A and B are shown apart, each in its own frame.
Chain A
């Protein structure tokens, strides 16, 4: 039971480098999400995709871009990494958007350090 798979699990970057975090789900979910988790701040939404072909900004979108490649995959790109983007990144998916009792299912996270 793979669920939501994130790659890589760990990454260290230098300031200014770019990278893409990959996320794939095998539950045929319509909606996918990217969050970041910083110490003492809970999870904050970066971007989300309510359905294939759509993306929208969340609470903290600056410095990030996303691509909903197909129904299964939702990637997060840092074009020019900054130390403030050091965080743990979680991808999640859910069956439907608002009005549903279905929870979001989370990947195991990517620990990203920007030096």
Chain B
């Protein structure tokens, strides 16, 4: 069985500071991918960053980086220099390579950036 757990229902961060959103996962697939999506209040799902289970380096995309610790089965999202526009729901998702492309989502973390 596959499972994604996001234990932080809500987080606050001061503008310009860094914040880490936690994600742990469980899977029996030997190879898998981890994704983070942002959902602003307008409702659309925006892809942020991807980490493959066999990638040697942690993924980075601009101000987003993924702290991937395979042994701990964690894939935390780090947002540096937070901006007011970062306020949104953030979802961690996993796709096992033997699962036909299906994504399993966590319950999400609501991030609020304070001015």
- Given contact pairs A33-B102, A45-B103, A99 touches B97 in the complex (Cβ within 8 A): yes
Question: Do A106 and B45 touch across chains, with their CB atoms under 8 A apart?
Answer: yes
**A42 in the interface, Cβ–Cβ < 8 Å?**
yes
Residue of chain A at shortest CB distance from B9: A40
Number of A-B residue pairs, CB cutoff 8 Å, is: 67
Question: Do A90 and B101 touch across chains, with their CB atoms under 8 A apart?
Answer: no
Residue of chain B at shortest CB distance from A50: B100
- Given contact pairs A48-B100, A98-B101, A103 touches B50 in the complex (Cβ within 8 A): yes
Give Cα A42–Cα B71 distance, bound, in whole angstroms: 25
Question: Do A103 and B47 touch across chains, with their CB atoms under 8 A apart?
Answer: yes
- Given contact pairs A43-B91, A98-B95, A109-B44, A50 touches B105 in the complex (Cβ within 8 A): no
Residues on A facing B (Cβ under 8 Å): 31, 33, 35, 40-45, 48, 50, 56, 58, 88, 90, 92, 94, 96-101, 103-106, 108-109
Question: Do A104 and B105 touch across chains, with their CB atoms under 8 A apart?
Answer: no
Q: Quick one: which of B62-103 are within 8 Å of A by CB?
A: 91, 93, 95-103
Residue of chain A at shortest CB distance from B50: A101
Give Cα A106–Cα B95 distance, bound, in whole angstroms: 15
Inter-chain contacts of B108 with A (CB < 8 A): 42
- Given contact pairs A101-B50, A103-B47, A105-B47, A58 touches B102 in the complex (Cβ within 8 A): yes
Complex partner residue of B100 from A35, A44, A98, CB under 8 angstroms: A98
Question: Do A45 and B107 touch across chains, with their CB atoms under 8 A apart?
Answer: no
Question: Do A109 and B50 touch across chains, with their CB atoms under 8 A apart?
Answer: no
- Given contact pairs A42-B106, A42-B107, A101-B52, A108 touches B44 in the complex (Cβ within 8 A): yes
Residue of chain A at shortest CB distance from B89: A42
**A-B pairs with the 8 shortest C-beta distances?**
A97-B101, A106-B45, A42-B105, A98-B97, A103-B47, A43-B105, A99-B97, A42-B107
Within the complex, the shortest CB–CB distance from B61 to chain A, in Å, comes to 11
Give Cα A53–Cα B39 distance, bound, in whole angstroms: 31
Give Cα A56–Cα B50 distance, bound, in whole angstroms: 25
